[in-house]
Amino acid sequence: MRHQRGTSYIAILIAIIGFAFLAKIVIAVWGPYLDNKMINGLIEEQLKSGPANISPSKFVQEMDKRFSMNSIRDVSFKDIAQVSNEKGLEVKTDYEIRKPFLLNIDIVLKFEKSFDQSSVQAK
């Protein structure tokens, strides 16, 4: 019984520091992932409800309105997406977000996805 002891103060301190580190990562990454999920949903919604022969510039205007209504202010649609209307409306998002993390360490989040109006409307 003499050698049996509980957790030391150093082990508790290391566990608290580890938990705080993980919490900081989750807080830094959570917002951009939620925004990306919302952006993808808005694009799919616009592709479903929009006319098939909409011009790319009109699509970009509609998406800017939707970004404004949904409080997505960190990115603009023109900067993150390319819209083409060759074989039907196609939207490709490709962007990255840098978040400061710790001292001079940044977290880089890269998001890529492509949407096709005919496949989105078929769902």
Q: What is the pLDDT of residue 1?
A: 56
Q: What is the pLDDT of residue 89?
A: 87
Q: How many angstroms from the chain centroid is the CA of residue 77?
A: 13
| Token pair in block for residue 44 | 């799919």
Q: What is the pLDDT of residue 16?
A: 97
Q: What is the pLDDT of residue 119?
A: 79
Q: What SS3 class is residue 22? A: helix
Q: Name the helix (H) or strand (E) containing 109.
A: strand 105-116
Q: Which amino acid is at 121?
A: Q
pTM here is 0.80
Q: If you compute the radius of gyration of the chain from its CA atoms, what whole number of angstroms results?
A: 22
Q: What is the pLDDT of residue 61?
A: 92
Tens of each residue's pLDDT in the chain, 123 residues: 567 677 788 989 999 999 999 999 999 899 899 999 999 999 999 988 888 788 889 999 999 999 999 988 888 899 999 998 888 889 999 999 998 888 899 999 999 999 988 777 777
